Amino acid sequence: MTSTILKAHMTKTLSELAAHVGGEVIGDGGLVIHGVRPIGDATEGYITFVSNERYVRKLRTTQASAVIVPPQHKDIGKPVIVTPNPYLAFARILRLFAAEPEPRSTGVHPSAVVSPSAKLGQDVRLYPFAFVGDHAVVGDRVTLHPGAYVGHGCQIGDDTVVHANAVIYDGCQVGKRCVIHANASIGNSGLGYAPDPAAGAGRFWYPIPQMGIAVLEDDVAIGPGCSVNRGALGNTIIRRGAKIGGHVVVAHNVEIGEDTIIVDQTGVAGTAKIGKRVTLAGQVAIAGHIEIGDRVTVGGQSGVHQNLPPGGTWLGTPAVPIDQTRKVWAILPRLPELRDTIRSLERKVADLEAKLAALSARNDPSK
């Protein structure tokens, strides 16, 4: 079955694909390629790739006509494109084959609501029930899908796409070429409350006004169901090129650095500062008021409670350097056995101490 997301009837030779990604062909450069498929599903006429060592064993059985490989796997007995970064080459080739979205007419649907004081750029697309508030500025070629909400005084940069039912609260700023997926919330009030012991029942938590905004710089992607809180004093800032997965919570006054990627279900507590090109894997928890240095990687389900210096990979709760965590994890399955061994040794030591005490008492001339 031909994938519906690939361009119909498009073909490229292996040499053309190699030139497109700056790779080297080994084998028949004139081989005709119809598309890209995963290594386990690829058949004749398709190209696949290997970037993870876990899948190297599948090179022997894949039915793909060609494979994108790193230099150490170039001799596999079939045509290959050799490149130091097969994953990036795969992404570029996939984009080459990917079908372009069908052109859609521009304009404002009759059911969309646009304030008379709002400013809309050229060639915008506002789908049914989209909303644009007072004095909001929406740039050129912006798309607001059904139910998208752009609050009063917001600024939305050119070529940004806001998907269905996403909300951008009053005053927030979104840069150019951003993508905000369905049900995301940008600029909502965070969990800002001060305890008031003198207040009556049900009023213990006094709400702190959240006076700042949320700012998304250019080329930011926000996944579905995300919450990016507005700042309490000052702003919450997602820097240029950052990518945030689904159901991530970014609390008030957090700063996310350029080109950082945050995987699904991660939480970043208030006033934390995340550096550039950081990777936070799934379900990571970042404590508030700490700093994560540039180019840090934090493994899945880790809890970070302290500042992390630039570089390095951290794992565990609390997060420590990954080699240290692996040593701990290697011991964990043996803990019951080690506990029994220690208890046995403790009993033996106690017996020896008792015997030594008895022997000492017999040999004590004062007794």
DSSP string, 130-181: -EE-TT-EE-TT-EE-TT-EE-TT-EE-TT-EE-TT-EE-TT-EE-TT-EE-
**C-alpha atoms less than 13 angstroms from C-alpha of 7 in its C-beta half-sphere:** 14
User: Of residues 145, 181, 247, 252, which has the active-site annotation?
Assistant: 252
Q: Which of 99, 118, 100, 98 is nearest to 108 (CA)?
A: 118
Contacts of 206 (CB under 8 A, 6+ apart): 193, 194, 195, 196, 199
Q: Is 163 one of the catalytic residues?
A: no
Query: Please, where are the H alpha helices in the chain?
Result: 14-21, 86-97, 322-331, 335-362
177 CB-near residues (< 8 Å, 6+ apart): 157, 158, 159, 160, 218, 219
Task: Kindly list the catalytic residues.
Answer: 252
